[in-house]
């Protein structure tokens, strides 16, 4: 390859606050009947005044802190003016020169990605292009209008699509650990915009690239809603721009869209400059100041994040990085594992054995509480064979002797299974291999 790709990424994350960014409408709009979650503020009616959502701002700062950003002491909202039917006010309330967070980073395996800014804004309505009575029409649903959005902008530090994919996995995981968004791609909770340019490999440059060494153009691919598509869009752009450069043409600075069917990007509009948006301070919302104490209070709400947790799991439980990656993928799974380790230590079950069991057998963590899991692991580690008749007999007896547990189970407290399994095991000779106890009990209690 003659050219080195240079990629920067803008990511929009929709927050799962109860209400919208500047009004009290519910922000839980997904799948609801169109235009039922609206009010004068989010419809942009004349005279309606925005009132910022404090939780949304705190969550934006939480994200910024988790990404190692500096938090500005003073921030403000600005109006970004442009005309589009999904934007009823004719401007979007966003942040321009004083965002909440600045200069953070996410560490990938082999490189550091700098985060330029983290800012707060509001979502737009949603356009739907349909066919009504044989006519092509565009319909607008304003339920999404005004839902809090956090935008995370990186420096142009990515060298290829796999790095972008790794970054996105990490970002999504951090957002989910923070519990501020479902970060669900299918529902549009996260929307991605890669910016791509190519530079000749013979020119003298190194990452991180200083702004004077950046190519004179960049192409932004808008609104991609899948990690896979973002990688494909980047690959397709690298090929398209490479071909232009080979012909001694400079790619046009523009915004393009991703056409999944064609597997190519398509031109949408030539890129606007910041001054086209006529940004100016939002006059209806005073600047927002943060004291150290307020920032500290937000910082204290941040849980242990994936990188720290991975390190601690490796050290504390002696696990491989592969095992740790799986166990910490979700915060709830990591918590589950740690509880099982605690419960298991009473039976001298090692953290490694528990990790192996979880990783290989993939137990349903919603149905099996950690204590029960420990029982299951103990059971699988037994060896002596017991006849199925013996086993059935033991189950029958235990169920007879424990009517309360049986009642609880039938009332839906399935966690008593662990207790019953333990009782059955106690009936059997030591070291019995008693696979199938669980199934027998479940059958008997159907």
**Binding region for ligand ADP (CB under 6 A):** 6-10, 153-156, 195-197, 214-215, 218, 274
Tokens coding 432 = 């019995």
Q: How far is the CB of 167 from ligand ADP (least distance, A)?
A: 11
Cα 325 to the center of its chain, rounded Å: 16
CA angle 178, 366, 380 (to 5 degrees): 120
42 binds, among ligand ADP, Zn ion, none (CB under 5 to 8 A by kind): Zn ion
Tokens coding 178 = 């923070």
| Residues near Zn ion (CB under 5 A) | 23, 25, 39, 41-42
CB closer to ligand ADP, 91 vs 336: 91
Tokens coding 191 = 């929307």
156 binds, among Zn ion, ligand ADP, none (CB under 5 to 8 A by kind): ligand ADP
3-state secondary structure of 82: coil
CB closer to Zn ion, 51 vs 292: 51
Q: How far is the CB of 271 from Zn ion (least distance, A)?
A: 32
195 binds, among ligand ADP, Zn ion, none (CB under 5 to 8 A by kind): ligand ADP
3-14 and 70-71: which strand pairing?
Answer: unpaired
Contacts of 21 (CB under 8 A, 6+ apart): 27, 50, 52, 53, 56, 93, 120, 121, 122, 123, 146, 147, 148, 149
Tokens coding 281 = 């301070």
User: Prior bond to 208 cis, omega within 30?
Assistant: yes
CA–CA separation, 425 and 382 (whole Å): 10
Contact 168, 235 (CB under 8 A): no
Tokens coding 128 = 């739907």
CB closer to ligand ADP, 39 vs 209: 209
Contacts of 398 (CB under 8 A, 6+ apart): 420, 423, 424, 427, 441
CB closer to ligand ADP, 207 vs 318: 207
Give percent helix, percent strand, percent coil of the chain, each to the nearest 5. 35, 25, 40
Q: How far is the CB of 150 from ligand ADP (least distance, A)?
A: 15
8 binds, among ligand ADP, Zn ion, none (CB under 5 to 8 A by kind): ligand ADP
266 binds, among Zn ion, ligand ADP, none (CB under 5 to 8 A by kind): none
190 binds, among Zn ion, ligand ADP, none (CB under 5 to 8 A by kind): none
219-221 and 254-259: which strand pairing?
Answer: parallel
Q: How far is the CB of 44 from Zn ion (least distance, A)?
A: 10
Q: How far is the CB of 166 from ligand ADP (least distance, A)?
A: 16
Q: Which residue is nearest to ligand ADP (CB)?
A: 8
219 binds, among Zn ion, ligand ADP, none (CB under 5 to 8 A by kind): none
CB closer to ligand ADP, 10 vs 435: 10
CB closer to Zn ion, 24 vs 112: 24
CB closer to ligand ADP, 166 vs 314: 166
Q: How far is the CB of 271 from ligand ADP (least distance, A)?
A: 6
Q: How far is the CB of 223 from ligand ADP (least distance, A)?
A: 14
CB closer to Zn ion, 24 vs 397: 24
Q: How far is the CB of 440 from ligand ADP (least distance, A)?
A: 59
Contact 142, 43 (CB under 8 A): yes
From residue 37, give the alpha-carbon distance in Å to each of 12, 102, 144, 150. 21, 33, 8, 21
231 binds, among Zn ion, ligand ADP, none (CB under 5 to 8 A by kind): none
């Amino acid at each position: 390859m003659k050219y080195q790709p240079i990629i920067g990424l803008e990511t929009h994350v929709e927050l799962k606050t109860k209400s919208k960014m500047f009004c009290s409408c519910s922000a839980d709009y997904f799948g609801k009947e169109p235009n039922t979650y609206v009010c004068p503020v989010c419809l942009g009616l004349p005279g309606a005044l925005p009132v910022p959502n404090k939780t949304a701002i705190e969550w934006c700062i939480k994200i910024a802190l988790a990404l190692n950003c500096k938090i500005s002491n003073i921030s403000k909202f600005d109006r970004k003016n442009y005309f589009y039917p999904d934007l009823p006010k004719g401007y979007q309330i966003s942040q321009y020169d004083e965002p909440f967070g600045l200069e953070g980073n996410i560490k990938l395996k082999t490189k550091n990605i700098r985060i330029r800014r983290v800012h707060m804004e509001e979502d737009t309505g949603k356009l739907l292009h349909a066919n009504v009575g044989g006519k092509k029409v565009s319909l607008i649903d304003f339920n999404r209008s005004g839902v809090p959005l956090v935008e995370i902008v990186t420096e142009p530090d990515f060298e290829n699509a796999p790095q972008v994919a790794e970054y996105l996995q990490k970002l999504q995981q951090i957002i989910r650990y923070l519990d501020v968004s479902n970060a669900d791609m299918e529902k549009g909770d996260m929307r991605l915009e890669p910016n791509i340019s190519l530079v000749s490999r013979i020119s003298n440059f190194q990452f991180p690239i200083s702004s004077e060494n950046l190519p004179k153009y960049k192409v932004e691919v808008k609104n991609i809603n899948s990690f896979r598509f973002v990688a494909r869009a980047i690959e397709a752009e690298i090929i398209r721009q490479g071909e232009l450069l080979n012909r001694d043409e400079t790619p046009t600075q523009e915004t393009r869209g991703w056409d999944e069917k064609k597997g190519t990007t398509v031109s949408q509009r030539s890129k606007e400059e910041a001054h086209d948006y006529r940004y100016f301070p939002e006059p209806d919302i005073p600047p927002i100041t943060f004291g150290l104490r307020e920032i500290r209070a937000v910082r204290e709400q941040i849980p242990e994040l994936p990188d720290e947790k991975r390190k601690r799991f490796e050290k504390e439980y002696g696990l491989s990085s592969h095992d740790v990656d799986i166990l910490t993928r979700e915060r709830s799974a990591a918590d589950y594992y740690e509880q099982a380790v605690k419960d298991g230590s009473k039976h001298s079950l090692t953290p490694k054995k528990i990790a192996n069991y979880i990783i290989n057998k993939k137990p349903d963590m919603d149905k099996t509480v950690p204590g029960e899991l420990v029982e299951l692991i103990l059971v699988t580690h037994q060896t002596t064979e017991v006849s199925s008749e013996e086993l059935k007999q033991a189950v029958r007896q235990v169920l007879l002797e424990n009517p309360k547990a049986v009642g609880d189970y039938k009332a839906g407290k399935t966690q008593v299974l662990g207790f019953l399994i333990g009782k059955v095991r106690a009936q059997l000779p030591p070291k019995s291999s008693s696979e199938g106890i669980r199934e027998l009990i479940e059958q008997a209690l159907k």
